Amino acid sequence: MALTDPDRLFPIEPAARNVARELYDSIADLPIISPHGHTDPSWFAQNNHFVDPAQLFVVPDHYVFRMLVSQGVKLTDLGVPFADGSVEENDPRKIWDLFAKNYHLFRGTPSQMWLDHSFEHVFGIDEVLSQDTAESYYQHIDAKLKEDAFRPRQLYDQFGIEAIATTESALDDLKWHKQINDSDWNGRVVTTYRPDATVDPEFEGFSDNVRQLGELTEQDATHWQGYLKAHQIRRAYFKQMGATATDHGHASARTENLDPKSAEELFEKAMSGHFTSEDADQFRGQMLTEMARMSLDDGLVMQIHCGSYRNHSAVVFKHHGRDKGFDIPTATNYVDALKPMLDAVGMEPDLTIIIFTLDETSYSRELAPLAGAYPALKLGPAWWFFDSYEGMKRYRETVTETCGFYNTVGFNDDTRAFCSIPARHDVARRSDCAYLANLVLTGRLRKQDAFELAHDLTYRLAKEAYRL
């Protein structure tokens, strides 16, 4: 029995299904461009075996463990570490059993879809995961992980990846990327400049981070001009190590365009530690515009991810720290928030700012109208909770009519779960082909144009938008 349906996600009506399948067949084997994600560069640098099934599929993936937690399973029983790094449950089989026993919770979710895809297409399993099959699953996957073919570089090739971007702090030494670049392996793993820790006054250790940025760049980063210069130099270093983009994770979409003197004073306040929450927010907003200006100079593509209330549960944050599945989307205003930055640089045709949202109500109301007007602005794909069939469907349905296809930038998987990459891209390709087939069958798109678009959405737009 196959775990996955070969016609999954295609329209149900036979004529539309046929067109979707034709479109999909024409692009299914294209290489994967993965321009934004969170895989660990050390995997590709060291090419060590993955440790065990629980560490591969459960423990590091907050998509997976939050669902178990929501039904009463304890984080500690899933091997999720405490904030100090210690772990209560160390037995990967116990963790795996807990996961297997509760696998029905994932019915109808994208997690089930990519997990089944991995089980079948990466590990060659053909029975459903459950309490009954937990042990045979564990043994099977564990044995595979010990084979050479399941090491990171070999999987990279098997998955058909052409280029993959990781994300590193501005303070990262990028030693793994250096090691990859210096190796004889010809996979392409590029970094992305993520300056949050050095542009957000409320980030733990902000002023120290800024000082460290200064040391790394041999600038006096404690003064405004030196600080800006330090970012420019550090960006250049990231670019030299392969980066084509920056990434900015902000709670809101707020941007500012202060006069230089006000910006300088705000920076000094931020560095002094004596600032209000409003000051911090204003400074983050100012830095988005500064970063956009730097992108105009150095050509790095700018990505803005916003609208997440991070670490919503005080209890979980206190015991287990960040990234434990308690980041919750919030309503986000883009129209007012982006205006200062767009007034400054929005009409620049050589600049690319890619914006992501967790508030899907903004797609048709705000983001598609903005991306359908400003040359610098492009719309990132359905993100996070919307990285799913229905999410992608609503994205295309609410966005395309207003900003067309060409103000979007293809798919990105945004994942730290390596095995999910081919599965996620496959979902995106199938969803797009289903959408295109519906347009063709309802007379909204010529069939030959649909073939060209299928290729564009799968490959060309991501490659071009991210300058990969």
| 3-class DSSP assignment, residue 465 | helix
Helix (H) or strand (E) holding 250: strand 245-250
- Segment lying near its own copies (by CB under 8 A), choices 66-74, 137-145, 192-200, 208-216: 66-74
Binding-site member from 146, 310, 322, 444 for its own copies (CB under 8 A): 444
58 binds its own copies (CB under 8 A): no
Under rule CB under 8 A, which residues in 229-288 are in contact with its own copies?
none
Amino acid letter, residue 226: G
309 binds its own copies (CB under 8 A): yes
397 binds its own copies (CB under 8 A): yes
The DSSP bridge partners found for residue 302 are 246, 353
72 binds its own copies (CB under 8 A): yes
State the nearest-atom distance from the C-beta of 161 to its own copies, in Å.
24
State how far the Cα of 208 lies from the Cα of 203, in Å rounded to an integer.
Answer: 10
- Residue 385: CB atoms within 10 Å: 15
- Segment lying near its own copies (by CB under 8 A), choices 87-95, 169-177, 314-322, 413-421: 314-322
The DSSP bridge partners found for residue 304 are 248, 355
State the nearest-atom distance from the C-beta of 112 to its own copies, in Å.
8
| 3-class DSSP assignment, residue 99 | helix
* Contact status, residue 422 vs residue 413, Cβ threshold 8 Å: no
- Segment lying near its own copies (by CB under 8 A), choices 31-39, 181-189, 206-214, 398-406: 398-406
State the nearest-atom distance from the C-beta of 282 to its own copies, in Å.
19
Helix (H) or strand (E) holding 302: strand 301-306
| Residue 165 backbone phi and psi in degrees, to 5 | -105, 135
State the nearest-atom distance from the C-beta of 365 to its own copies, in Å.
5
Q: Of 149 and 315, which has the nearer Cβ to its own copies?
A: 315
Q: Where are the alpha helices (DSSP H) in 368-446?
A: 368-371, 389-403, 420-441
Q: How many residues bind its own copies (CB under 8 A)?
A: 89
Q: Of 183 and 330, which has the nearer Cβ to its own copies?
A: 330
| Residue 167 backbone phi and psi in degrees, to 5 | -130, 125
Q: Of 104 and 175, which has the nearer Cβ to its own copies?
A: 104
Q: Of 199 and 439, which has the nearer Cβ to its own copies?
A: 439
388 binds its own copies (CB under 8 A): yes
372 binds its own copies (CB under 8 A): yes
* Contact status, residue 39 vs residue 418, Cβ threshold 8 Å: yes
Q: Of 70 and 183, which has the nearer Cβ to its own copies?
A: 70
11 binds its own copies (CB under 8 A): yes
State the nearest-atom distance from the C-beta of 143 to its own copies, in Å.
26
State how far the Cα of 91 lies from the Cα of 293, in Å rounded to an integer.
Answer: 50
- Segment lying near its own copies (by CB under 8 A), choices 24-32, 178-186, 228-236, 344-352: 344-352
State the nearest-atom distance from the C-beta of 315 to its own copies, in Å.
5
Q: Of 120 and 162, which has the nearer Cβ to its own copies?
A: 120
316 binds its own copies (CB under 8 A): yes
- Segment lying near its own copies (by CB under 8 A), choices 32-40, 183-191, 243-251, 374-382: 374-382
69 binds its own copies (CB under 8 A): yes
State how far the Cα of 119 lies from the Cα of 400, in Å rounded to an integer.
Answer: 34
Q: Which of 391, 378, 399 is nearest to 424 (CA)?
A: 391
Under rule CB under 8 A, which residues in 92-151 are in contact with its own copies?
104-110, 113, 128
State the nearest-atom distance from the C-beta of 332 to its own copies, in Å.
9
Q: Please give the structure tokens belonging to residue 454.
A: 């299928």
Binding-site member from 175, 322, 446, 467 for its own copies (CB under 8 A): 446
311 binds its own copies (CB under 8 A): no
385 binds its own copies (CB under 8 A): yes
> Among all chains, which residue has been given the structure tokens 């404690």?
222
* Contact status, residue 353 vs residue 292, Cβ threshold 8 Å: yes
Binding mask 400-439 for its own copies (x = CB under 8 A): xxxxxxxx------------------------------xx
State the nearest-atom distance from the C-beta of 362 to its own copies, in Å.
8
Secondary structure string (H, E, C) spanning 141-198: HHHHHCCHHHCHHHHHHHCCEEEEECCEECCCCCHHHHHHHHCCCCCCEECCEECHHH
Q: Which of 59, 128, 58 is nearest to 87 (CA)?
A: 59
Query: Residues 456, 461, 463, 467: is their CA dihedral positive or negative?
Result: positive
State the nearest-atom distance from the C-beta of 107 to its own copies, in Å.
6
Question: Pairing relation of β-strands 301-306 and 245-250?
Answer: parallel
State how far the Cα of 23 lies from the Cα of 226, in Å rounded to an integer.
Answer: 52
